[in-house]
Amino acid sequence: MTLQDATIFAYKLCVYTWMVTYVALIWRGMKDRSYGMPILALALNLTWELIFLAFIPPQGSLDSALVPHGALKAQIVFGLCFLLDVGILYTYFRFGYKYFAQSYGLTRPQWIGYSIALLAFSFLVIHSGAYFFMQFDSYFHRDQIEAAKLIAFIQNAVMSLAFVAMFHMRRSIEGQSFTIAWTKFLGSSLTVGPIYLLQHPDNYFAWVIIGTMALADIWYMGLIWGALRRAGINPLTRL
């Protein structure tokens, strides 16, 4: 298998496993009347998908040439993921206030205001970050998806740490499952992460970011597995 074949396989597996993660998050959130993705992670995820779907689309990128109609297929994937993230965002606004009232004493208007501000801030950071990285021709080749990938790894590392923090803050398994944990781990830390490091073996920064992401994912899987076992729930059958 060539590196290009491995890259295509990793991208496909990443998409499929993340789709399962999103569906499980929506299902678990509605069933538990909770939400399962930390708002910081959700804001970064949702705005990344929106930006590279509509504002900085993948047409003309190096990755778009890997498969026929690659740019269009990427936009379809980004669009589907964005819609699923909107579903997760619904569970956040539908059921999330109680956690912030308990932990931080926020009023509902304060909570809504902070949440909207975080979404706007995430959009601006990712949008401006993409253009900032794209200007470096020697590494990113002025390629929007090359910039998007590194941004995605940074936000995934933040996301993985945020899942661990949410588990400890919440002190419960509401909105969470081992299915969510292992599909997220497989979707990033075991697929596109290693492929990126094979393509950029000298990028020390990427090794640190992807390594942090993987370690936090493994730690979160252990936390969820243990909590479910203590609650008398089979981790492998809880969606």
Is 238 within the bounds of a domain? no
pLDDT bucket at 1, cuts 50 / 70 / 90: confident
176: DSSP letter: -
Q: How many CB atoms lie within 10 A of CB 74?
A: 24
Cα separation of 38 and 36, whole Å? Answer: 7
Q: How many residues does the chain have?
A: 239
| 239: in domain | no
Tell me the average pLDDT across 120-125: 97
Q: Is the pLDDT of residue 191 over 90?
A: yes
Question: Span 55-81, mean pLDDT?
Answer: 94
What is the tally of structural domains in the chain? 1
- Whether residue 236 is contained in a domain is answered as no
pLDDT the model gives residue 208? 97
- For residue 52, the 8-state DSSP code is I
Could you tell me if residue 235 is inside a domain?
no
Q: What percent of the chain has pLDDT over 70?
A: 100
Domain that holds residue 26: 3-230
Beta carbons of 62 and 217 less than 8 angstroms apart:
no
- In angstroms, what is the C-alpha Rg of the chain? 18
Alpha helix stretches (DSSP H) within 171-191: 178-184
* Cβ–Cβ under 8 Å, residues 91 and 29: yes
Determine whether 115 is exposed, middle or buried from the number of CB atoms within 10 Å of its CB (0-12, 13-18, 19+). buried
**237 inside domain:** no
Residue 83 binned pLDDT confidence (cut-offs 50, 70, 90)? very high
Find the mean pLDDT for residues 116-143: 94
**Paired tokens of 211:** 């390594």
pLDDT band for 138, please (50, 70, 90 cuts). Answer: confident
CB 73 within 8 A of CB 57: no
| Mean of pLDDT values over 132-141 | 91
